[in-house]
Amino acid sequence: MITGRAGTCGLMPCGEGLLQWWFDQRWTPDAPPPASIVAELRERFGGWAEPVPQVLAAITDEDTGFFPHYRHRVPRSWGTGPMTVIGDAAHSMPPTRAQGANQSLEDAWALARALRTATATDPAAALRAFERERAPRVSVVARQAGTEDINKYGVLQARLVPSGLTGRYYTRWLGQISSYLSSRASDRDGSNSSTRLPDGSSARIC
């Protein structure tokens, strides 16, 4: 991923000589799409380092699509009764922190865990518990992604921050927003780690 004042470019090899690419830039909500998306991209990103100009030279307007990002406050409740939603339906966000798909997977994992504890007489209670757990965490992700803070820092500022410090910060941040990682950390710390064995004794999982 390459970031600059013009926006962001993502490049990901996907096998068999193919390349997945995308460009992200700020856009006024009421402004119409450009007459030529490729012309707009070439004007904004054409002077960037390779392979960006090479990609821009190879694509046509038929290869491109114009997709806006929608931002909204993540609601506390995602459903009623025996119904809920997950993923973008509950918390759409820009790709700044690369957490859209990741948070959808977290939703699926947390929902499956909640349903395992649901009773046949009151599945709605399990769904509301799932929403209460996920909504605060996803709200943090959506709020930080919405700031697009990855575009705030220049090259010099980025170089002044040791890569090890950045890694520790990001790892700690992931632990705070991840239901899965938080659950694993809780198990390691010993909470909710006691299990009942068939003979009636208990064992502690460390």
pLDDT at 203: 33
Residue 30 pLDDT class (50, 70, 90 cuts) = confident
Q: What is the mean pLDDT of residues 75-100?
A: 89
Instruction: Please give the helix or strand (H or E) that residue 73 lies within, else none.
Output: none
How confident is the model over 117-140, as pLDDT tens digits? 887 778 899 999 999 999 999 999
| 3-class SS of residue 160 | helix
Name the token pair of 135.
Answer: 């909504």
How confident is the model over 86-98, as pLDDT tens digits? 999 999 887 767 7
Q: What is the mean pLDDT of residues 59-86?
A: 90
Name the token pair of 74.
Answer: 């993540």
Residue 204 pLDDT class (50, 70, 90 cuts) = very low
Distance CA 138, CA 89 (A): 12
Whether 131 and 84 have beta carbons less than 8 Å apart is answered as yes
Going from the C-alpha of 88 to that of each of 97, 99, 189, the distances in angstroms are 15, 11, 32
- Looking at residue 158, its amino acid is A
Q: Is 80 exceeded by the pLDDT of residue 22?
A: yes
Residue 201 pLDDT class (50, 70, 90 cuts) = very low
How confident is the model over 154-191, as pLDDT tens digits? 555 556 767 677 677 777 877 777 888 877 666 655 54
